[in-house]
Structure 1
Amino acid sequence: MAKSTAKSPARTPMTTAAAARIQSATARANGGKVASDSFAARALSAAAHNANAGGKGTGNQ
């Protein structure tokens, strides 16, 4: 598969508020459980990383 030459839009960092919404929806869909290898878990990890990297990612923007 050839690599696309189109530019992708600027990325928005994952916030803790967005990660909480993702985790909540995943837990509701799976009887309260969120697998450690799920997208929701990765989103929470990214949000924590962003929150620790300069105070961003708190959801209070």
Structure 2
Amino acid sequence: MSKQAAGRVQSKAAKQPSSASKQTGFDRRAQSAGDRNEQRAQGSGQGSAKGKGKGKR
């Protein structure tokens, strides 16, 4: 997940506190994933975290 996508999730959850994203803590997990993916992309020199997590591991 990109940081931009995580930001959209957090923004929506903040506007709708009764949403499943907010109540389950998905907004916080999304931000954590965005941060983690960005760090991995910077560490590998690839630049963007788009498309990470798809395909073989």
Q: TM-score, normalised by structure 1?
A: 0.57
User: After TM superposition, what 4+ stretches of structure 1 lie above 6 angstroms from structure 2?
Assistant: none
What is the deviation of 1:30? 1.6
Choose between structure 1 and 2: higher helix proportion.
Answer: 2
Computing the radius of gyration from Cα coordinates, the structure with the larger value is 1
Measured in 2, the distance between the counterparts of 1:25 and 1:57 equals 22
Q: CA RMSD in A?
A: 2.4
Instruction: Report how many residues are paired.
Output: 42
Partner SS for 2:30: helix
Runs (5+) with no aligned partner, structure 2: 43-47, 51-57
Unaligned runs of 5+ in 1: 1-13
Report the Cα offset of residue 57 of structure 1.
3.3
Identical counterparts, % of pairs:
31
